[in-house]
Amino acid sequence: MSESESVSDNGQAGGQTGPSTPDELLAHLDGLGLGYDLHRHPPLFTVEDSKALRGELPGGHCKNLFLRDRKGKMWLVVTLEDRPIDLKQLGTALGGARLSFGSPDRLMKHLGIVPGAVSPYALFNDVGREVKVVLDKEMLTFDPLNYHPLSNEMTIAVSPDSLVAFLRNLGYEPEILDLAALA
Give residue 110's identity as a one-letter amino acid code.
Answer: H
Count of the separate structural domains present in the chain: 1
Instruction: Please report whether residue 102 resides in a domain.
Output: yes
Determine contact, residues 163/145, Cβ cutoff 8 Å: yes
23: CB partners within 8 A, 6+ apart: none
* Count of helices and strands (H, E) across the chain: 5, 8
2, pLDDT greater than 70: no
96, pLDDT greater than 90: no
Highest mean pLDDT out of 56-60, 120-124, 152-156: 120-124
22, pLDDT greater than 90: yes
Instruction: Please report whether residue 11 resides in a domain.
Output: no
Query: What CATH number does residue 105 fall under?
Result: 3.90.960.10
Instruction: Please report whether residue 132 resides in a domain.
Output: yes
**Domain residue limits at 86:** 22-182
Q: Is the dihedral of CA 25, 31, 32, 35 positive or negative?
A: positive
What is the reported pLDDT for 17?
61
Query: Which pLDDT tens digit goes with each residue over 151-170?
Result: 988 899 999 999 999 999 99
44, pLDDT greater than 90: no
Which is nearest to 172 in space by CA: 107, 112, 128?
128
What is the reported pLDDT for 28?
97
Q: Which residue has better confidence, 16 or 156?
A: 156
Ramachandran category for residue 129: left, alpha or beta (phi over 0 → left; psi -120 to 50 → alpha) = left
